[in-house]
Amino acid sequence: MVSVSREDFSVAAATNDSAYRRITIPMLRIEAGPGPAVALIAGVHGDEWEGQAAILDLWHHLPVVLQRGTVYLLPAVNAEASLAGTRLSPADGGNLNRAFLGVPARGYTESVAAALEARLLPRVQAMVDVHSGGASLRYLPSSVITRYGDDAYDERLPALARAFGLPHCVFFRGNEAGSLPAAASRHGVLRLSAEIGGGRETSSNLADRCRDGLLGCLGELGLLSDLPLPRHPNIRLYDLDAPAATLRAGEPGVFVPGVELGQSVTAGQRIGRLIEPARPDTPLRPLLSPQAGTIVCLRAIARSDDGDCLLQVAPALPLDSLASKY
């Protein structure tokens, strides 16, 4: 017998125009008997749509197929930013993925983080947190594994990444104590993330791949058994923690990329240029790849400023090399 209940919560989000404004964060709890509790989360940044669309789909269909355990669905965990279509929270300009600070909340964004850390993380054993490139970036659809601090290697991670069903997996070393994955780490929660799409747009194809990946993770965790589940046996791992993995603009200009997502490049290969059409006498500035590898991320907005991420590139490694990153 599957039980479904709403566990929405609201937090204060005052503005100059609304002194006592509150924002409701939608959360659905689906319970199908004994088994693990898993949180599926999207919309930490409001302009990242693929995960939001995928989890909304599961909101309507997962109660029919869930066979054991409990799933918490949060399709727009930063509801205010989702409604506004912005990365940051309009009420206070906060970044929810830097707001899990474990201190008394100061404003809307930290209040959402505090509620999640009090209400959700102590109740789950696993979490999948879906992101995309948002307005400014596009990502090669990838699962994401992030190591925080002295996290020990978890032997379940490669299987979970394979179950997500994408051929690419990105590795980051997290340094931000205030991120949602860092908070999950403090609570001992097994976690996987994803970066799928971006560029202030989405598609049914990307949303469906994300939905199927989330179902694959639920299957791997033992909550589903009868569905055909995606599984990719030969996943390529990209270490984006290395300094050479990210190319940033060194000055303002218009970024004209000369490569595509998924393209292989050599170290020093010309991958684009920065131009300044409003100053025709300014020489164009060629951009060279900082290392050999695969283009994993590309800036989606042409007008760029000093310090903006233009692309990320890394060599493809076997997923079995993940343990060496710990």
Together in a domain, 185 and 304: no
Helices (H), the chain: 49-65, 79-84, 108-119, 157-164, 180-186, 204-220
Together in a domain, 216 and 300: no
Together in a domain, 173 and 38: yes
Q: Which amino acid is at 198?
A: G
The alpha-carbon radius of gyration of the chain (Å, integer) is 20
Domain termination site, one of 207, 234, 261? 234
Strands 137-148 and 293-299: antiparallel
Position 239 in a domain: no
Give the number of domains in the chain.
2
CATH of the domain at 251: 2.40.50.100
Domain termination site, one of 199, 234, 269? 234
Together in a domain, 211 and 300: no
Position 241 in a domain: no
Domain range for 310: 246-325
Position 116 in a domain: yes
Together in a domain, 168 and 261: no
Position 240 in a domain: no
Phi, psi (deg, nearest 5) at residue 73: -110, 125
Write the CB contacts of 152 (distance below 8 Å, at least 6 apart in sequence).
326
Together in a domain, 205 and 285: no
Position 213 in a domain: yes
Domain termination site, one of 203, 234, 265? 234
pLDDT mean over 122-130: 98
Together in a domain, 227 and 269: no
The two most distant CA atoms of the chain are separated, in Å, by: 71
- Distance, CA of 16 to CA of 106 (rounded, Å): 16
Together in a domain, 40 and 83: yes
277: its two tokens: 């059409």
Position 80 in a domain: yes
Q: Is the dihedral of CA 63, 66, 69, 72 positive or negative?
A: negative
Together in a domain, 198 and 293: no
pLDDT digits (tens, 9 = 90+) for 157-176: 999 999 999 999 999 998 87
Report how far Cα 39 is from the mean position of its chain's Cα atoms: 14
Together in a domain, 273 and 192: no
- Distance, CA of 244 to CA of 289 (rounded, Å): 9
Together in a domain, 217 and 77: yes
Max avg pLDDT among 5-19, 32-46, 92-106, 176-190? 32-46
Indicate the pLDDT class of residue 60, thresholds 50, 70 and 90.
Answer: very high
Q: pTM value?
A: 0.96
Position 37 in a domain: yes
Together in a domain, 131 and 60: yes
pLDDT digits (tens, 9 = 90+) for 142-160: 999 999 888 899 999 999 9
Nearest CA-CA partner of 79 in 52, 105, 102: 52
Indicate the pLDDT class of residue 250, thresholds 50, 70 and 90.
Answer: very high
CATH of the domain at 15: 3.40.630.10
